[in-house]
A and B are shown apart, each in its own frame.
Chain A
Amino acid sequence: MATLEAPRIVTARTGYDDSFTLARFLATGGYEGLRKALTMFPEDVALEVDEASLLGRGGAGFPAGRKWSMLRKSPVSYLVVNGDESEPATFKDHLLLERDPHQIIEGIIISAYALQVSQVFFYVRGEFALGLERVQQAVNDAYEHGALGSKIFGSDFSLDIVVHPGAGAYICGDETALLESLEGKRGFPRIKPPFFPAVSGLYGEPTVVNNVETMSNIPWIVLNGGEAFAALGAGRSTGTRLFALAGRVKNPGVFEVEMVKNTFRDLIYDPKLGGGLLDGHTIKAFVPGGVSAPWFGPELLDTPLGQDEVGEKGSMLGSGSVIVFDETTCVVRAAWRITKFFARESCGECTPCREGSGWIERVMYRMEHGGGRVEDLELLLDLCDNIAPGLGWPPQQTTICPLGPSIPSSVTRAISMFRSEFISHVQKGGCPFD
């Protein structure tokens, strides 16, 4: 049974029909965290976040407090918020943007105060038309309410937030590609080093880039203290986290659960969460953290939902997206479609990714559609090895950004876990699931 006693930190409000309005926000404790933060010294606000050990909720899981502390010694120019959620089957930020935009904005204002930044750019995925409208409305309302603009709530702190729409590019979720995009260019990730936008970010100036869910946690942390947040979860994974559950389950959706205290089995099978697989079906495999993450078999269902716990088993919690396959799922088709996604979204900057993704996709396509050969298995592994040498986890980097080395995850796991299924595709001259 799942452990569900933890408070709902970021989804407390999402059940209300009018959860996105200022009226509902204020009636449910909205902007109280900001009011409290403004009575504190900025460095003490940052200290609370540091104590909370809040890991960034975008996918890389870098501690938010540490990201900020890199900038504490030198002045920061910009805070950029990443709302470009595009990792396949990840739909948690989408929920927050549409259902609780004020909470994100409150988190942003508090963070900007802690960092002493006066200009924020909030990059929201272009396909989220409703989310963009709700966020812009919330920003307008926040100005009207005095929570944004000059002398916020009568303090000596002033801030502007510009809502910036993306225009359809997965790669812009990478923070350096996002900054390029925000500068009005093609979304090409930047060459590292420098590794962090803290050193050279927007317009080459020190910049912090944080994810939407990360921001949504900030008001609660300020109100309840970093210690209370760190008391939830275990080890490096503190607090609660949003998990987007999709695929062959009864109740797909976004669930907020305490980290580490629950397992993938709880998430997928608990009646209050995923509710188990669709009637009469059994689990075949699952993706633990977005399609960039290597797949898990059912034997790993009892792995706790924690950053290091999943890492030790050779994959990652990544973007918090869990996708369930059942016995009717053709893994060749699944891995082909995931590779097709990477081939389409590769920005084309680095050769291993640009050429490799398309090549693997074509081989996977012919495997699924009747043209596969036994020797294609070795070819696929060889191609993957060229993108991420050694095929280990975490993958070796041959490209500027992590998109390239994410490509082999699904293909190599599909082959190592379900080799016989590839062989039956070859023998049948087509997909045995058709």
Chain B
Amino acid sequence: MSHLRVELRQRAEELVALYPRPRSAMLPLLHLAQEQDGYVSVEGIAEVAELTGTTPADVRGTAAFYDMLHLEPVGKYVVGICTNIACLLAGGLELLDHASSTLGCSVGSTSDNGLFTLEETECLADCNFAPCVQVNHRFVRTTTPETFDGLVGELREGRRDHDIPVHGTLLRVRRSGGLHASKSEIATEREEAKAARAKREGEKK
């Protein structure tokens, strides 16, 4: 019995098929597991291990390396505030402090109602809107304490559900299309191109 629900399991199998070696699908699969559970659960790890031909220890060890993958449950909204250099110069540390009191949780923890997790992030590469804020990895471009509180109000009332999916959902665009040719056809194509090139080079000489 698969832990991933049917639709996600199917996407997972499609992902594995995209790579020459199944282990390469590790990060995309961990994102999928996180999309279903909101974090990377023990059951999710077991299924990713099965899909990639690795062990749960391997999967957990890999997941632990990456900041976006949460091995413990987090809030519905993960609020990330950057305090790196460009944001530091624009009041990022002060905004982080303010966010902590508005959300009612310290940096790195989750609010009692389970709605918010607050994170101090490294540079999110949106420095012309410093200090930079992301909710579930969507840029919200709210830079003052006042606009931040407005955003939190909207999130509490569910008024941002249209543009900010729950935590874990990374890609809402599915891959369509693909290379509908067999490996041998491609190999033949390459061989022919190579032979043609060798011939051209021979002629040049």
Give A residues with C-beta under 8 Å from B: 41-43, 75, 85-91, 93-94, 116, 118-119, 125-130, 132-133, 136-137, 139-140, 142-144, 148-150, 156-160, 162-170, 181-187, 203, 244, 246-248, 252-254, 287, 291, 323, 325, 329, 333-334, 337-338, 341, 344-345, 347
Given pairs A75-B194, A91-B125, 17 additional interface contacts (CB within 8 A): A87-B123, A88-B122, A91-B126, A116-B194, A126-B170, A140-B175, A143-B178, A150-B180, A158-B189, A160-B179, A162-B19, A182-B24, A185-B62, A247-B89, A323-B89, A329-B89, A341-B85
Is the pair B171, A167 in contact by a Cβ cutoff of 8 Å?
no
Which B residues lie at the A interface, using CB under 8 A? 18-21, 23-28, 30-31, 52, 54, 61-63, 65-69, 83-86, 88-89, 121-128, 130, 134, 136-139, 170-181, 185-186, 189-190, 192-194, 197, 200
| A345→B122 contact, CB < 8 A | yes
Instruction: Give which listed residue, A94, A116, A150, A165, contacts B170 with CB less than 8 A.
Output: A165
User: A252 contacts B128, CB within 8 Å?
Assistant: yes
- Docked pose: A143 CA to B177 CA in angstroms: 6
A129 with B137: CB separation less than 8 A: yes
B127 in contact with A252 (CB, 8 Å): yes
Once A89-B84, A158-B189, A162-B19 are accepted as A-B contacts, the answer to whether A41 and B66 lie under 8 Å apart by CB is no
Cβ-defined partner of B138 (8 Å) among A91, A129, A166: A129
Bound Cα distance A173, B152 (Å)? 32
Contacts A184-B52, A247-B89 given; indicate if A89 touches B123 (C-beta within 8 A).
yes
Q: Could you name 23 residue pairs across A and B whose Cβ atoms are closer than 8 Å?
A: A85-B125, A86-B123, A129-B171, A132-B171, A136-B174, A143-B178, A149-B177, A158-B179, A158-B185, A158-B186, A162-B19, A167-B63, A184-B21, A185-B62, A186-B61, A187-B65, A203-B21, A247-B85, A252-B127, A291-B85, A323-B85, A323-B86, A334-B88
B122 touches A246 (CB 8 A): no
Contact A89–B127 (Cβ < 8 Å): yes
Give every chain A residue within 8 A of B65 (Cβ-Cβ). 169, 186-187, 347
Q: How far is the CA of A140 from the CA of B174 in the complex (A)?
A: 9
Chain B residues lying within 8 Å of A160, measured Cβ to Cβ, are 178-179
- For residue B120, give the distance in angstroms from its CB to the closest CB of chain A: 9
Take A126-B170, A133-B172 as given contacts and tell me if A91 and B89 are in contact as well, using a CB distance cutoff of 8 Å.
no
Q: In the assembly, what is the distance between CA of A338 and CA of B83, in Å?
A: 10
Q: Is A133 touching B171 in the complex (CB atoms < 8 A)?
A: yes
The answer on a CB contact under 8 Å between B89 and A248 is yes
- Known contacts A126-B68, A136-B175, A139-B175; is A164 also within 8 Å of B181 by CB? no
Q: Which residues does chain B contribute within 8 Å of A149, judged by CB atoms?
A: 177-181
Most buried by B among A125, A130, A165, A244: A165
Q: Are A156 and B27 in contact (CB under 8 A)?
A: no
Residues of A within 8 A of B193 (CB): 42, 116, 156-157
Task: Knowing A88-B85, A149-B180, A167-B69, say if A181 contacts B27 (CB, 8 Å).
Answer: yes
- Contact, CB under 8 Å: A164 / B28: yes
Asked whether, in the complex, the Cβ of A86 is within 8 Å of the Cβ of B125, the reply is yes
Which residue among B27, B66, B176, B181 has the maximum number of chain A CB atoms within 10 Å of its CB? B27
Could you tell me if B89 and A166 are in contact, using CB atoms closer than 8 angstroms?
A: no
Q: Are A129 and B67 in contact (CB under 8 A)?
A: no
The answer for the CA separation of A184 and B49 in the assembled complex, in Å, is 11
- Which residues of chain B come closer than 8 Å to A323, judged between CB atoms? 85-86, 89
Chain B residues, CB < 8 A from A252: 86, 127-128, 130
Nearest-CB distance from A40 to chain B (Å)?
Answer: 12
Contact of A148 among B139, B173, B177, B192 (CB under 8 A): B177
Q: How far is the CA of A244 from the CA of B123 in the complex (A)?
A: 13
CB of A126, distance to nearest CB on chain B (Å): 5
The reply to whether A75 and B190 form a contact with Cβ atoms under 8 Å apart is yes
- B27/A344 in contact, CB under 8 A: no
Can you list the 8 inter-chain pairs with the closest CB atoms, starting with the nearest?
A143-B177, A184-B26, A168-B67, A167-B66, A168-B68, A160-B179, A184-B23, A246-B86
CB-based contact B178/A167 at 8 Å: no
- In whole angstroms, how far apart are the Cα atoms of A187 and B64 in the complex? 11
Contact A167 B125 (CB under 8 A): no
The answer to whether residues A184 and B25 also contact, given A130-B139, A160-B178 and a CB cut-off of 8 A, is yes
B residues in contact with A116, CB < 8 Å: 190, 193-194
Known contacts A133-B173, A150-B179, A169-B66: A338-B85 contact under CB 8 Å: yes
CB < 8 Å: which of B21, B54, B137 contacts A127?
B137
Closest chain A CB from B87 CB (angstroms): 9
Contact present for B170 and A91 (CB under 8 Å) = no
Say whether A165 contacts B186, CB under 8 Å.
no
B189 engages A156 (CB within 8 Å): yes
Instruction: List A contacts of B86 (CB < 8 A).
Output: 88-89, 246-247, 252, 323
A426 CB to nearest chain B CB (Å): 22
Q: Give chain A residues whose Cβ lies under 8 Å from the Cβ of B128.
A: 91, 246, 252-254
Report the bound CA distance from A82 to B149 in whole Å: 36
Q: How far is the CA of A91 from the CA of B126 in the complex (A)?
A: 6
Once the chains bind, are A244 and B190 in contact (CB under 8 Å)?
A: no
The answer to whether A184 and B24 touch across the interface, beta carbons within 8 angstroms, is yes
Given the complex of chains A and B, what is the CA–CA distance between A119 and B179 in angstroms? 9
A246 vs B127: C-alpha distance in the bound complex, in angstroms? 6
CA distance A144 to B180 in the complex (A): 12
B161 to chain A, nearest CB (A): 15
Q: State the CA gap A160–B20 with chains docked (Å).
A: 12
Residues B170 and A341 in contact, CB atoms below 8 Å apart: no
B31 to A91, Cβ gap below 8 A?
no
Partner of A118, one of B21, B88, B171, B190: B190
Contacts of A347 in B (CB 8 A): 65
